[in-house]
Structure 1
Amino acid sequence: MHPDFMNNRQLFLNHLAQTTDFPLLIEIEKAEGVYMYGPDGESYLDLISGIGVSNIGHRHPKVIQAIKEQLDKYLHLMVYGEYVQSPQTQLAKALCDTLPESLDNVYLVNSGSEAVEGALKLAKRFTNRREIISCVDAYHGSSQGALSVGGNEVFKRAYRPLLPGIKNVVYGSFHQLNEITEQTAAVIVETIQGEAGIKVACREYFQALRKKCNETGTLLILDEIQAGFGRTGKFWAFEHFGIEPDILVCAKGMGGGMPIGAFIANKDVMGAFKNNPLLGHITTFGGHPVSAVASLATIQVIQEEGLMEQVEEKANLFKQLLIHPKIKGIRNKGLMMAVEFESFDVLKPIIDRAITNGVITDWFLFCDDAMRIAPPLVITAEEIKRACQIILDAIGD
């Protein structure tokens, strides 16, 4: 075994905080496109994009070029919102250009959890209400506010007390829309439920949700941390359902591999942060210029390379090829896919064997009987065929 691997592995186990007793322990030295490479040249086809991050592949040349050019200009200058910085202003304009006119003001942060935190604060400040409604089996992040609106008690119980005034409703339930009242500051919903195993509510549900929020003066926060940036075949997943949110949350695929997130609202709504108190939300590194130029390049790549137009065809190819008696079904919206098996006990050895054979997949936090497939949007038909054959061989083994 490569001696450096042993050294790095031991350093990893000794000095990096662990979140389970069974980390994957895959060492990666390089990544390019849809592939990651180990120290001895072993290759792994990344079918999960670092959990929805590498939508345009690893180290896209246009992202790398944008980063290199920014490095010669400046890095961090000042806390967010004080200096006029071209990477931030150009990115904000490009984001707004992808959105309805009602969403014209961007607050840049570092991650999805931070974007959720900011969105929750904004809704409470703007409405002067305190109740928040979220969904069963929702996942919005791991910080305490984001965890509070998460919808799985297993992940929450060890950290209580969390934020008060949180109600959970069932995603897609028309009846439970009656829980939204004039006491509700915001409803926060993943447009496509991710960690629940790719659950997609119908268009009529989203229409009814939007109508109920309008009637009660409640802000609708849509979490597109996983679903945004072309993943579903539209730039934003809410475009499939004919509605607009009051606040949109994004991160993950936004940065082309760099850490960045945002919450986006109407300028009047966002203005609630300017007084009582002023500086109502603060971030030191939000909108970091290197991350911002990487994000702008990512938007340009998605649009200029026509990646969204290819999503449905590529998703259909996965569905055509992944046919096996042990596969119970496939749920998806574009290249956000869940391949269903009988149980975790059936699925886990398949995932392990596929990794051994060079394809990285995963399961979902709240749906451990389904395999996560969310590859870079740049994946080719040949790479899809190769990946599917390795998965089918792993099932057979």
Structure 2
Amino acid sequence: MSSLVGHQIQQSDKIKSMIQDLVGEVGKLNAQITGIRAPQDEFKDSGKQKVDLAGQFRGRPLHYPYMGTGAGRGPYVELEDGSVKLDLINGIGIHLMGHSHPRVITAAVRGSLADILTQGNLQPNNEYRLFTEKIVKLASKKSRLKYAWIATCGTMANENALKLSRQKNSPARFVMGFKDAFAGRSTMMAEVTDNPAYKQGLPEYHEVLRVPFYDKRDPKSGEKALNVMKEHVAKHEGNISVFGFEPMLGEGGYQAAPRDFFIPLLDFCKSKNIAIWADEVQTFTRTGEYFAFETLDIGQYIDICTIAKTAQVGATLYTEDYNPKPGLIAGTFSGSTPSLSAGMEMLDMLGEGFLGPQGRINQIHRRFIDGINRLNETSCKGIAQDAGGMGLMIAFTPHDGKKESANAFLNKLFQNGVIAFPCGKDPVRARFLVPAIIEDADIDIALKAIEKTLLEGV
């Protein structure tokens, strides 16, 4: 009698027990990581050597002297110099559930026991099917999105989104996007990205038309953005394929906008048959709902949506109208089996009290923002300004917001045990991608480190 060996492996009680024992042992070791710890004398030199070697072989130094040992617990991560940092950037947003979460590790180990580690679009296993089904069902609850195509990263997901819109609306080629947008680092996504520093020496294709983003200081901000969009369409009638936008600017400064800002822009694009592409590579799972288009209640407008980071793989979701012809999007890789397995586990976990107006994500946001605002009003008066963002994406402007002072603050904050990154150009802001599993006590530790670092000056 024939049997499905793969199913037998997945269902084996002995293998399940071995995985539980392994994850449990790792958990016991990681339990030693209890909070922020300074570099240890016995590991400083070897840690620095490893950091230097990483920079040597890639041709440029690391942004921070960060080299993880492979150990961590929740929001804390252990580095090779013996230090433990409070990780509030999470690999620029990959580690939604922090470090060494037992459920995530269990899912990844389970995936790693499959016959292949990397799945392909032509020869997928069940994880590919299950991930695609899960993400489509989540997206279609409040949108017309019907299909998903898995890719290896956010940039590739965005490339596929642009190809879908251009094929459907051919021969239209122009892209409308917001000023200060970020879309990725491929040649075309660097063009869509509005940051000259990210495309030095690259050719200019002049195919992207900029629209100003929301400015909360200007009551006519929405009107101005719509007028600029109308001017672009009048000049390039019939030659604009897509309006691609981040529901909240990411690299551009963690600037959020209300629903009322987006609706006139989206209505106008619909009236002109311009595709609407929501780039949720960074906002996916972070705004209090699975998708920011749910948080903003604009799902009915979305033709194409891209995700990555917390999903552990990239994916392009699209409606029936934008289902591409065979051959347009493909590629060998569609993500590793452990990544697909872990990504699905984290999506399941989010449904357990993290989402909604009163869910844990919004609780974290309020506590963190309120804490920064208190600092700006008391001990750090005037030097922790404009705290904001959406959900787990939080930022504020340190000191005068100039690049030099913001970077000095962030480097000192790293030395004081908290990892954050810059975003925006004028001003430059300190940004945090907070893990969903952070406890209130850990937020308080982060706020104390922020206060200490601000008071140290630049």
The answer to whether structure 1 residue 301 and structure 2 residue 354 are counterparts is no
Cross-structure match for 2:29:
none
User: Paired residue for 1:105, among 138, 143, 147?
Assistant: 147
User: Paired residue for 2:182, among 135, 139, 142?
Assistant: 139
- TM-score under structure 1 length normalisation: 0.90
TM superposition shift of 1:61: 1.8
Is the Cα–Cα contact under 8 Å of residues 111 and 251 in structure 1 kept in the other structure?
A: yes
Q: Secondary structure at the match of 1:201?
A: coil
Q: Which moved more, 1:148-157 or 1:131-140?
A: 148-157
Amino acid at match of 1:261: G
CA–CA distance in 1 between the matches of 2:200 and 2:303? Answer: 30
Q: CA RMSD in A?
A: 2.0
Cross-structure match for 2:99:
58
User: Paired residue for 2:417, among 350, 358, 369?
Assistant: 358
TM superposition shift of 1:268: 4.1
C-alpha change, 1:59 and 1:24, in structure 2 (3 Å) is same
Q: Which moved more, 1:47-56 or 1:141-150?
A: 47-56
CA–CA distance in 2 between the matches of 1:285 and 1:59? Answer: 26
Amino acid at match of 1:151: D
Is the Cα–Cα contact under 8 Å of residues 134 and 166 in structure 1 kept in the other structure?
A: yes
The 5 Å alignment of 1:142-221 reads 142-161=185-204, 163-172=205-214, 173-178=225-230, 179-180=232-233, 181-221=237-277
CA–CA distance in 2 between the matches of 1:219 and 1:120? Answer: 10
Cross-structure match for 1:343:
401
CA–CA distance in 1 between the matches of 2:62 and 2:99? Answer: 25
TM superposition shift of 1:90: 0.6
The answer to whether structure 1 residue 394 and structure 2 residue 453 are counterparts is yes
CA–CA distance in 1 between the matches of 2:104 and 2:320? Answer: 29
CA–CA distance in 1 between the matches of 2:48 and 2:206? Answer: 47
CA–CA distance in 1 between the matches of 2:55 and 2:422? Answer: 23
Is the Cα–Cα contact under 8 Å of residues 89 and 434 in structure 2 kept in the other structure?
A: yes
Is the Cα–Cα contact under 8 Å of residues 108 and 286 in structure 1 kept in the other structure?
A: yes
Cross-structure match for 2:9:
none
Q: Over residues 112-135 of structure 1, what are the superposed CA-to-partner deviations in whole Å (9 max), with x where a residue is unaligned? A: 111111100111011112111111
TM superposition shift of 1:284: 1.0
Q: Over residues 29-87 of structure 1, what are the superposed CA-to-partner deviations in whole Å (9 max), with x where a residue is unaligned? A: 1223111102354210011222122122123222211221122222257641x235210
User: Paired residue for 2:309, among 238, 243, 252?
Assistant: 252
Cross-structure match for 1:318:
368
Cross-structure match for 1:96:
136
Q: Which moved more, 1:207-216 or 1:102-111?
A: 207-216
CA–CA distance in 1 between the matches of 2:335 and 2:144? Answer: 22
Amino acid at match of 1:176: V
TM superposition shift of 1:17: 3.4
Is the Cα–Cα contact under 8 Å of residues 186 and 219 in structure 1 kept in the other structure?
A: yes
CA–CA distance in 2 between the matches of 1:302 and 1:362? Answer: 25
Q: Secondary structure at the match of 1:186?
A: strand
Give the paired residue count.
383
Is the Cα–Cα contact under 8 Å of residues 174 and 205 in structure 1 kept in the other structure?
A: no
Q: Secondary structure at the match of 1:98?
A: helix
CA–CA distance in 2 between the matches of 1:287 and 1:154? Answer: 29
Q: Which moved more, 1:23-32 or 1:362-371?
A: 362-371
Amino acid at match of 2:229: L
Is the Cα–Cα contact under 8 Å of residues 243 and 277 in structure 2 kept in the other structure?
A: yes
CA–CA distance in 2 between the matches of 1:387 and 1:136? Answer: 31
Cross-structure match for 2:329:
281
C-alpha change, 1:23 and 1:287, in structure 2 (3 Å) is closer
TM superposition shift of 1:243: 1.3
TM superposition shift of 1:136: 1.1
CA–CA distance in 1 between the matches of 2:443 and 2:118? Answer: 43
TM superposition shift of 1:394: 1.0
Gap regions ≥5 residues in structure 2: 1-40, 215-224
Amino acid at match of 1:175: N
Is the Cα–Cα contact under 8 Å of residues 137 and 152 in structure 1 kept in the other structure?
A: yes
TM superposition shift of 1:6: 4.2
Q: Secondary structure at the match of 2:248?
A: coil
Gap regions ≥5 residues in structure 1: none
Runs of 4+ in 1 over 6 A off after TM superposition: none
Q: Over residues 144-172 of structure 1, what are the superposed CA-to-partner deviations in whole Å (9 max), with x where a residue is unaligned? A: 111111122343342113x4422122123
CA–CA distance in 2 between the matches of 1:89 and 1:132? Answer: 32
CA–CA distance in 2 between the matches of 1:338 and 1:84? Answer: 39
Amino acid at match of 1:303: G
C-alpha change, 1:375 and 1:212, in structure 2 (3 Å) is same
CA–CA distance in 1 between the matches of 2:80 and 2:196? Answer: 40
Is the Cα–Cα contact under 8 Å of residues 132 and 187 in structure 1 kept in the other structure?
A: yes
Pick 1 or 2: higher relative contact order, CA cutoff 8 A, min separation 6.
1
The structure with the larger Rg is: 2
CA–CA distance in 1 between the matches of 2:132 and 2:64? Answer: 37
Cross-structure match for 1:383:
442
The answer to whether structure 1 residue 227 and structure 2 residue 283 are counterparts is yes
The answer to whether structure 1 residue 73 and structure 2 residue 125 are counterparts is no
Is the Cα–Cα contact under 8 Å of residues 120 and 335 in structure 2 kept in the other structure?
A: no
Is the Cα–Cα contact under 8 Å of residues 56 and 302 in structure 1 kept in the other structure?
A: no
